[in-house]
Amino acid sequence: MSAQQAISGDDILLREDRDGVVTLTLNRPAQFNALSEEMLTALQGALDDLKVDEAVRCVVLAASGRAFCAGHDLKQMRANPRQGYYEALFAQCSRVMQGIVNLPVPVIARVHGMATAAGCQLVASCDLAVAAESATFAVSGINVGLFCSTPAVALSRNVSPKHAFDMLVTGRFISATEALSFGLINRIAPDAELDRAVAALSSDICAKSPVAIRTGKAMFSRQRSMGLEEAYAYAGNVMACNMMAEDAAEGIDAFIAKRKPVWKGR
pLDDT digit string, tens, across residues 40-84: 999 999 999 999 999 999 999 999 999 999 999 999 999 999 999
Cα pseudo-dihedral 155, 158, 164, 167, rounded to 10: -60
Quote the mean pLDDT of the chain: 95
List C-alpha distances in Å: 112 to 116, 137, 140, 265. 11, 10, 17, 33
Q: Which fold has domain 210-257?
A: Lyase 2-enoyl-coa Hydratase; Chain  A, domain 2 (1.10.12)
Please name the amino acid found at residue 234. Y
Task: Find the mean pLDDT for residues 25-50.
Answer: 97
HSE, side-chain direction, 13 A CA sphere, residue 262: 1
| CA dist., res. 67 & res. 48, Å (int) | 25
Contact status, residue 69 vs residue 119, Cβ threshold 8 Å? yes
Secondary-structure class of domain 5-206 per CATH? alpha beta
Domain ranges of the chain: 5-206, 210-257
Across the strands, what pairs with 60?
Answer: 23, 108
Q: Is the dihedral of CA 92, 96, 97, 103 positive or negative?
A: positive
pLDDT digit string, tens, across residues 123-156: 999 999 999 999 999 999 999 999 999 999 999 9
Same fold, 5-206 and 210-257: no
